[in-house]
Amino acid sequence: MPPVPALLPEHAGRVDPVADLRAAAGAAVAWLCEGADGVRVVAADGLAERVARHLLGSSTPHRAGTRARADDAVLVMANGSARRSEKAPGHLDERAHAFDEALGAALATGDVTALAGIDPVLAAELWATGTEAFAALGGLVVEESQVDYDDDPFGVAYWVVRWTCAS
Amino acid sequence: MTLVLGRRSFPDDATLMMAIVNRTPDSFYDRGATWAEDKALDRVAQVVEEGAEIVDIGGIKAAPGADVDADAEIGRVASFVGRVRSAYPDLVISVDTWRAEVGRVVCGEGADVLNDAWGGADPGLVDAAAEHGAALVCTHTGGATPRTRPYRVEYDDVVAAAISDTVAYAERALAAGVARESIVIDPAHDFGKNTFHSLEVTRRLGEMVATGWPVLVSLSNKDFVGESLDLPVGERLTGTLAATAVCALAGARIYRVHEVTPTRQTVDMVDTILGRRRPQRAIRGLQ
């Protein structure tokens, strides 16, 4: 889930510039919360944490529901490069597209090994946020993956991806 | 306060554009451009497209000129109001008239608002509004006779006079049966006022807003703008918009205008700066 500040209510305009992302994020968070006793947020900074808390607060978890597995629900706040075009926040870096392509493929397939191997120096140079958190996912086995959102409407690569992992 | 203008209600944070539509051959700004009825209807279509919530139809120019009696005024505006009503069922139609006789006829044709630019010169106008459930704009003219220019007018305190007269007029309308939420006050820039008076009213508009009555301002291309900047009619838009911004800051609710789009943008920008209105779409730095 990308920690996009435009998702916060204090940044709302009369027209929502991230309506599609908001809808995808809201649905995914509701799914995540369903049946969970609590959600662990992995966020790189305070802003990402606030976005996560807002999304969690606006979801309507059905805590009475049951799940086959009992482990934590985890919400990882991260996005790809913010240097994907000349209009992007970080202007264009030609390396951004290849970086994001690899990141997107790993997210879509639940390739934890590939995610853990992301070069943190390159990620920082490309203004990718939160990707260092994937290094802590070692040992996770992703059983199912679903991509709800995959776009870069403002020159920043966003994904909303649901993983179901083996316990 | 919620505003009820005939068939439409507006929440208390809404600002409204009242577009001037002249059915006159001699008004100062358009010099008869919409004298022909079809041209006037085109003007209505244009201002509706630009987002005006209200049209203000007038059959007599404010300045001295050829006499237009009540029958002639009715001839100029009444059937036109009916045409506009048929074409735009939800549009708020205001008629700029001081005559009760005219007010009754145009309300019968579908007018929602009687805009009395001459400060209650005809004491029966409040009754006409009350009878038809119309809204009323109560202006301050310092007691000027309709269609006269100010000449050596003095006030001890022009803002106090404007507040005193418009509030008294509003209360008279209320007593006559006009709904409280359908009464608007207007300091009437340039009416019974020299440029210094109009500038002071602009500067201190917040005092009128503080009365609690919704305030209408009519600033568009007027002489106080022209004299402030030494510019003729036709070159006063920037000055008009600056005055508009000051009135928006003070909390004016209705803006009677020639140019709808620039005025709407000015008022929206001021309201957005003040936090009364959200930005239309904010993404810069928030991606």
Three-state SS at B95: strand
Asked whether the beta carbons of residue A18 and residue B281 sit closer than 8 angstroms, the reply is no
| pLDDT tens for each residue of B224-282 | 999 999 999 999 999 999 999 999 999 999 999 999 999 999 999 999 999 999 999 99
B residues 250-279 near A, CB within 8 Å?
Answer: 277-279
In this complex, the residue of A17, A89, A156 whose CB is nearest that of residue B281 is: A17
- Please report whether residue B169 resides in a domain: yes
Residue B129 lies in a domain: yes
How does residue B1 score in pLDDT terms, banded at 50, 70 and 90?
Answer: confident
Kindly report the nearest CA distance between residue B279 and chain A, in angstroms: 5
Which chain A residues are within 8 Å of B283, Cβ to Cβ?
Answer: 6, 17-18, 154
Write out the two tokens for B101.
Answer: 């006789």
Give the model confidence (pLDDT) of B163-193 as tens digits.
999 999 999 999 999 999 999 999 999 999 9
The mean-pLDDT minimum among B90-104, B143-157, B213-227 falls in B143-157
Q: How close A115 comes to chain B (CA, Å)?
A: 23
Tell me, what CATH number does B175's domain have? 3.20.20.20
Q: How many CB atoms lie within 10 A of CB B125?
A: 28
- CA-based nearest residue in chain A for residue B279: A13
Question: Is B282 within 8 Å of A155 when comparing Cβ atoms?
Answer: no
| Predicted local distance difference test score (pLDDT) of residue A58 | 60
Nearest Cα of chain B lies from the Cα of A31 at a distance, in angstroms, of 24
Domain count, chain B: 1
Query: Which of A13, A89, A156 minimises the CB distance to B279?
Result: A13
The answer to whether residue B282 sits within a structural domain is no
Q: What string of DSSP letters covers chain A?
A: ----GGGSGGG--SS-TTHHHHHHHHHHHHHHHTT-S-EEEE-SSHHHHHHHHHHHHH----TT---S--S-EEEE--B--S-SSTTSTT---TTHHHHHHHHHHHHHHT-HHHHHT--HHHHHHTT-BSGGGGGGGTT--EEEEEEEEEE-TTSS-EEEEEEEE--
- Residue B260 structure tokens: 């709808």
How large is the C-alpha radius of gyration of chain B?
A: 18
The span from the CA of A57 to the CA of A37, in Å, is 14
| Average pLDDT value for chain B | 96
pLDDT tens per residue across all 167 residues of chain A: 999 999 999 999 999 999 999 999 999 999 999 888 889 999 999 999 999 999 998 654 433 333 434 467 999 999 999 999 999 999 999 999 999 999 999 999 999 999 999 999 999 999 999 999 988 777 889 999 999 999 999 999 999 999 999 86
The burial class, CB within 10 Å (0-12 / 13-18 / 19+), for A92 is middle
B285/A contact by beta carbon, under 8 A: yes
- Tell me, yes or no, whether B278 lies in a domain: no
In a domain, B287, yes or no: no
Structural domain containing residue B44: 3-273
Asked if residue B284 belongs to a domain, the reply is no
